[in-house]
Every structure is written in structure tokens, then in C-alpha cells.
Chain A
Amino acid sequence: AQSVAQPEDQVNVAEGNPLTVKCTYSVSGNPYLFWYVQYPNRGLQFLLKYITGDNLVKGSYGFEAEFNKSQTSFHLKKPSALVSDSALYFCAVRDYGNTGFQKLVFGTGTRLLVSP
């Protein structure tokens, strides 16, 4: 089965500093990777995805992610963090069910806390 791992439960960063939220993947074949964000008491919102092409993917709200095949990573980044970026971030991967259908599987999430 394909999977993603988010090694950090929480990331703390000061406003204005660059931020990185880590994600590593375990995939056979070409990975289809995603990042989502969840604000308090809300459903998840899509940020960006990597299917193929450029290793640097740009997404919503100034976020970007770098796909690194040799390190099997897909880290989420932003050059300058905002307090409003504080939220729960999820990495996700396309996986295959037992019947061969494709599905979306999420990591455990990383809480980002940006301090003023």
C-alpha cells in the first residue's frame, strides 16, 4: 500500500520566518501527492498537488512544495509565515484499494503554530 508519513506532530515558527512542514512517502511507481490544510472546526482545504512535471509545485496562499524523488519527500514550504497560517496540515497520497480502485489516503497531520 502507498503511504505518507509526517514525522513532526507540531512545527513552531515565528511570523516572517520561512516554514517547512515535512512529508515522506512510500510508493511503488509514480507518486501522486497532495497537501491539505485544516483550520479549527472546519473541513480540509486543498493546497497543492504533485502529479508529474516540475519538482517545485506552487499552491494556494503562497505555499509551495518540493518533490524530491531521491529522498522520497514532499515537504511543504512558505518563504514568510503568517500568524493566520496556524493550522493543521495534512499530506496525502493516491493509493489503491483491494479491488483496484484508487483512493486518497492521508498522513497523521502536523500542527503549525506561527507566533507573532
Chain B
Amino acid sequence: NAGVTQTPKFRILKIGQSMTLQCTQDMNHNYMYWYRQDPGMGLKLIYYSVGAGITDKGEVPNGYNVSRSTTEDFPLRLELAAPSQTSVYFCASSQTVNTEAFFGQGTRLTVV
């Protein structure tokens, strides 16, 4: 079972560049999340989605955008990358907010 798949695993961006972090799940889950993990800061919620076509901001949405056109995919777009966006990004999915969330392996992003 694939579960939650994130690509790429690693990426180096220059300041001002843009990129899309891909996330796909094969469990037909309604909920999908994007978190960033910074050392000593735990996980911060960037955006989340409760179903196709429905997204909402989390704690740290500035500098990011998302879309959810299908149940399976929840890409995260970074526009005009900044050094402050250097982090490890995790995508997760769950059937409901009260059920187990499954996480991808993460994307380590460095902005230089």
C-alpha cells in the first residue's frame, strides 16, 4: 500500500523561485493536511482540506497556496521562496479529523 506519497524528497531553491510540493494519497481520505516542521518548533499547520474543492488556512499560511481538485491530490505551492521557508514539509491524510492520520515521508526544502 502506497499510503501518502510526497515528492520530491529533497529540494534546494533559490530566493524568489517557485515550486510545487506534490502530495497524493490512495486511501480515499477526505482530510488532507500540510505541516512544516522546524527544529524545536514542532509541527505547524500550513493549510488543510476537508474534501475536494474545500480548503482552509492553518497557523502559518503566508507564502503558500493550495488546491484540492481531486480527493487524491493536495499540492502545496510556494511562490517567491524565502529563506524562512527552509523547513521539512509533511503531508498527511485522514478519513475524518478524529481518525488516524497517515503521514508522508516528508520533503526537505532549503531556500538559499
Binding site for B on A (CB under 8 A): 6, 9, 32, 34, 36, 41-46, 49, 51, 90, 94, 97-99, 101-109
A-contacting 9-mer, from B43-51, B70-78, B79-87: B43-51
B48–A103 CB distance below 8 A = yes
Binding site for A on B (CB under 8 A): 4, 31, 33, 35, 40-43, 45, 48, 50, 54, 56-59, 90, 92, 94, 97-98, 100-106
* A/B interface sample: 13 pairs, CB < 8 A: A41-B105, A43-B105, A46-B101, A49-B100, A90-B43, A97-B48, A98-B56, A102-B97, A103-B48, A104-B33, A104-B45, A104-B94, A108-B42
A91 CB, nearest partner CB in chain B, Å: 9
User: Residues of B contacting A42 with CB < 8 Å?
Assistant: 105-106
User: Residues of B contacting A41 with CB < 8 Å?
Assistant: 105-106
A103–B42 CB distance below 8 A = no
Kindly count the residue-residue contacts between A and B in the assembled complex, taking CB atoms under 8 Å apart: 72
Q: How far is the CA of A85 from the CA of B100 in the complex (A)?
A: 20
B40–A108 CB distance below 8 A = yes
User: Residues of A contacting B42 with CB < 8 Å?
Assistant: 6, 90, 106-109
B65 CB, nearest partner CB in chain A, Å: 16
Q: How far is the CA of A49 from the CA of B56 in the complex (A)?
A: 24
Q: How far is the CA of A106 from the CA of B45 in the complex (A)?
A: 8
Q: How far is the CA of A31 from the CA of B33 in the complex (A)?
A: 20
Q: List 4 other contacts, CB 8 Å, given A44-B92, A94-B97.
A: A32-B98, A42-B105, A106-B43, A108-B41
B111 CB, nearest partner CB in chain A, Å: 20
B98–A103 CB distance below 8 A = no
Q: How far is the CA of A49 from the CA of B99 in the complex (A)?
A: 8
B14 CB, nearest partner CB in chain A, Å: 25
